[in-house]
Structures are given as structure tokens and as C-alpha cells.
Amino acid sequence: MLSLCLSACNQPPPTKATKDYAARYPSVAGGTMIGAMTAEPSGLIYMVAGESASAAIASNIFNALLKYNATLDLEGDLAESWTISDDQKTITFKLKPNLTWADGHPLTSADVLFTWKLVIDEKTRSPYASDYQLVKKAETPDAFTFKVSYDQAYAPALDSWSGLQILPAHLLKGQDIHTTAFARKPVGSNYYQLDVWKNGENIQLSRNTKSVLGPAQIDKLITRIIPDNSAQFLELMADNIDTMGLDPIKYSRIIPSRPELQKNLNLYKELGNSYTYMGFNLKHKPFDDIRVRKAINYAIDKQEIIDGVYLGLGINIASPYKPGTRWSNAALSPYPYDAQKAKALLKEAGFIDTNSDGILERDGKPFAFEIITNQNKEREKSAVLIQRRLKDIGIDVKIRAIEWASFISRFIKTGDFDVVVLGWGLGLDPDQYSIWHSSQQAPGQFNFIGYNNPTIDKLLEQGRTELDPDKRMNIYHEFAKVLLEDCPIVYLSAGYGLTAMHKRIQGIVDPIPPAGVGYDSHKWYIPEPLRRNEISAQ
């Protein structure tokens, strides 16, 4: 056993046949790219499957009306153009000419109408139906035109039409969307189509020759289902997969210390559309007091969390939007770490250490609370660092990590908590009505911290009905400013998404555009000399 460990720990893996991965080759069609994911999709009809694994595969197969371009502005996907009526209540989409499904059947506005009717159907179990239920009338004046009308102008509407994957009416009509075999052998319109789905093992896609967007370069996309991250990484080391998502340790410690891995892999980091925060239950005392919230914000050293928990692979944020996008207000800066200011604010709020036990008291009661979080290592570690910093200024903090389903139903839904450490993953539309508007506080809704600020309510309502991008931007810049000042949550960090990609995959846009490393992946290619020997491909 010991000798096994010694030999396993000391010898580098043998390098495979020497291939010059540093060289640049011209773009060429063909080849197979192998990826891995930890969870298997339940089906490929995203509107009912709902999970990210489903979205990851289905987005290669289906198109929506609109999509985001490299700089995260909307452009046509199936739609060639769209017009918004003067009263901003009606959107008319014009489809591209000669669209077809992978089976050769024409793709028309009737398919779009069918998909919309399906998602809003009473019997359809879709968690994402609410955006589409706001459509009062949908019409198809001709085969290339799709027209939707809303009761009032709804700014997130355009974004919502980039999220609805259009399904083929001719194959799904009369089927039960929840049990249809189509979910496991779909026919789409995008760059790829499903070849084989081996339950629990892998999903293989191949190029769709009738793709509405033209051909992709890489022939086959294979996604292996490998639930364990370490096993995935071993497969990456053995060159059995080309790409995987990394955690900070692998990205900044393991790969850089192994020359044989560096030789084969490109590493990418990009900001995601998500952030981690600490949220106060604003209905509980003393978190209703803005001085207390600010004091806690000043007392937490966010850089320490980024360095300690994310190994520096994150950034400090001051607004709930991805930095660098138009919605993020660059004029705002996060609360700095300032323990003195924190103590002064707490004193102002009436917290004084009367019995010299190191813990502050107000009205004879010590300042103590519990931070709850779900079982997520990074959030737990962040909570520990927060605990220590708050102890420094005289607050006694306990931490509890709870399994997800219990966490949501026992604590978040019932509002039975003081402070949470959680994260938000957001869409690309800036509308955050469901998170911050005072009307969204019922059990199960997302304003579970009980935030109630009339100024914020008004800004959110304005932002929802303003379709002009520049005016809308100003509204959300103001929204982020008020939110930062009011401090209902403490922004902890926005972590980088980390990806390893084998150097045989070429043509990746460099530098990474705001849309991310996966942008324009249909242009990626694998030069012939760098391809895996397909026979030995494990």
C-alpha cells in the first residue's frame, strides 16, 4: 500500500504521443469533442425539465426566437428582426426565411405559437411559465410572423423570448409533454442533433446538416456523465475528456504545479452571472436598524473571503449585476473593511458591552445570532470567516449548515432565520422584481428577507415597463445605488467560472467576450493532427 502511494505520488503520468498543441492550425470541419457533466438531464424539453443539465444539452439542439450576442445584446436566433409597437405593448417577430427542422419539415410561426401555447397550458408543469402568461394575445398573421401583445409594456419580454426553446408542433401535437418519448429523442433546429443517449453514461450529439444557423465545425459533441468531480479530473488528466469546469484549487494550485497538464490544457476564467451574499431577516430585530446592517457590512472583510475561500478567484461587487455589463453601475464601490466604523455604528445603535464579556448588549440582551446556509463548502467557509470578524467587534455568531430541501422549506419559506449566506444566479435581463419588490414576500416567494423600500419598489416597476435600453440602464443604476446605501444584504463576492479546455480545441474567441468562453462554440474546430485516435477514445 505504501509503495503504491509513493509511486503514485512521485511519478508524472507518461506523456502521450507528442503533438504540437501550441501550433495554430486553420479551421477545419470534423472531429469529436468530449465533455463531462455531474448530473444527467431528466429530459431535453427544457421548459418542463428545468435543470441546468438539461439546458446545457438542449441549447445545442433547439433555438429560441432571440439570443444574446458576444457583448450580451439581443440579436435574432430564429427571428430575423423584431419590432416594438409605439405603445410598447406589442412585439412583432419576423422569422428568417426557409427555416427547417432537422427532419426536413419547415419551421414556421405555427411552431412558435404552439410552443407558447404549450408553456402556458394549465397542464404543463413548467416552473418558468409566468413570463409567458403575461402575453394577452399571440397571433401568426403569416408563416413568418409571430406577434405578441401584453396588457402593459413589459421590458423583460424580449429576454423571455430568448429563453423559450421553440419545439416542433408537427412532432409534439397531441402528445403529453411530460411523458413524450420526444424528450429523449428530440428533433431540433440548431447546430447539433441527438445521436445516442446511453442512460447514466453519456449523451452523444452529431452535427445537424439542416441547422438553421449554418453548419458547425466539430462533428460530434459527447457529454459523459461523471458525478464525481475528482473522477472527472482524473479523466481530464488521462486525456479522456477535453473540457470540464474547475474549482479554485484545481485552477490555481494543481494544474499550475503540473507541467504535463499545462502543456495540454488552456485555462479560462470568466465572471458568471451570480454572486454570494449575506442577507438579513429585516423583520427581525436588530436587523431593521440600518446602522446595525451597515456596521456588519463594514466589519466583514470581503477580500479575506475572496482570498481564503475562492483563492483569489472572485471579485468584490457593489451591485447585483455582472461587473462590466451595462446594468452594473461602475460608479459604486463596495463597503470597505473598517472595524472602527463598525464599532462606532453599533454604539450609535445602542450596543454597548456592559458586562465586559466581549459581547455587546442592548437592553441587557447580548448581540447574538445564527447564520444559516445550505451544505455548500464555500458558503460554510465564508460564514466561518464572517463569524470571526464579527466576534472582533463583539457579536456572537453561530453557524448552521442545512440540507437544501429542509433549508428552503423549514427556514427560508417560514422566515424562521436571522441571517443567511446564500447566492443568486441571475438571468441576463436586469429585472429583479421577484427578489426585491415588497409585494414578493409571501411564503415561497423570493423576497424572503422581507425587504420593503418604496423607492426600490418604484424603480423596479419603472424598469419593468421601460423598453428603451439607455433609460432602463439609468433606472437600474439608480436601483443599485439605493440598494447599496440601504444595505439589506452584504455582497460577499462574485466568483469566477473556471474552465479547462484541451489545446486541441481551437478557434475559441480570445479574449473571452462578455458572453463567456462558450460563445460561438460552433466555430471551434479540432485540427486533424491533434485529434484523438478515435479507436482508442475511451
Figure out which of the listed residues 60, 109, 202, 506 binds other proteins, where binding follows CB under 8 A: 202
Figure out which of the listed residues 27, 52, 340, 355 binds other proteins, where binding follows CB under 8 A: 52
Figure out which of the listed residues 137, 198, 285, 471 binds other proteins, where binding follows CB under 8 A: 198
Which residue stretches of 445-538 are H helix? 454-465, 469-486
Binding mask 388-427 for other proteins (x = CB under 8 A): ---------------xxxx-xxx-------------xxxx
The answer to whether 39 and 53 have CB atoms below 8 angstroms apart is yes
**Residue closer to other proteins (CB basis): 226 or 383:** 226
| Shortest Cβ 111–other proteins spacing (Å) | 20
For position 126 contacting other proteins by CB under 8 A, the verdict is: yes
For position 3 contacting other proteins by CB under 8 A, the verdict is: no
**Residue closer to other proteins (CB basis): 97 or 444:** 444
Figure out which of the listed residues 7, 18, 209, 257 binds other proteins, where binding follows CB under 8 A: 7
For position 377 contacting other proteins by CB under 8 A, the verdict is: no
The answer to whether 351 and 367 have CB atoms below 8 angstroms apart is yes
Q: Looking at 42-50, 143-151, 381-389, 390-398, which segment touches other proteins (CB under 8 A)?
A: 42-50
In the chain, DSSP finds a helix count (H) and a strand count (E) of 18, 20
SS3 263: helix
* Stretch 433-452 residues interacting with other proteins (CB under 8 A): 434-435, 442-446
Residues 6+ apart with CB under 8 A from 256: 262
Figure out which of the listed residues 136, 178, 285, 365 binds other proteins, where binding follows CB under 8 A: 178
For position 482 contacting other proteins by CB under 8 A, the verdict is: no
Of the candidates 89, 115, 90, the one whose C-alpha atom is nearest the C-alpha of residue 101 is 115
For position 158 contacting other proteins by CB under 8 A, the verdict is: no
Is cis: bond before 511, omega within 30 of 0?
A: yes
Relative to beta strand 220-225, strand 32-37 is parallel
- Identify the sign of the CA torsion 382, 384, 386, 389: negative
For position 245 contacting other proteins by CB under 8 A, the verdict is: no
For position 230 contacting other proteins by CB under 8 A, the verdict is: yes
Residue type, 380: E
For position 264 contacting other proteins by CB under 8 A, the verdict is: no
For position 4 contacting other proteins by CB under 8 A, the verdict is: yes
- Cell numbers for 78: 430564429
**Residue closer to other proteins (CB basis): 85 or 445:** 445
Q: Looking at 62-70, 177-185, 323-331, 450-458, which segment touches other proteins (CB under 8 A)?
A: 177-185
Figure out which of the listed residues 17, 22, 181, 331 binds other proteins, where binding follows CB under 8 A: 181
**Residue closer to other proteins (CB basis): 193 or 202:** 202
CA pair distance 308, 441, nearest whole angstrom: 34
CA pair distance 95, 77, nearest whole angstrom: 9
Phi, psi angles (nearest 5°) of residue 278: -115, 120
CA pair distance 236, 262, nearest whole angstrom: 12
Number of residues interacting with other proteins: please give it, by CB under 8 A: 78
**Residue closer to other proteins (CB basis): 363 or 534:** 534
Which residue stretches of 59-108 are H helix? none
Residue type, 51: E
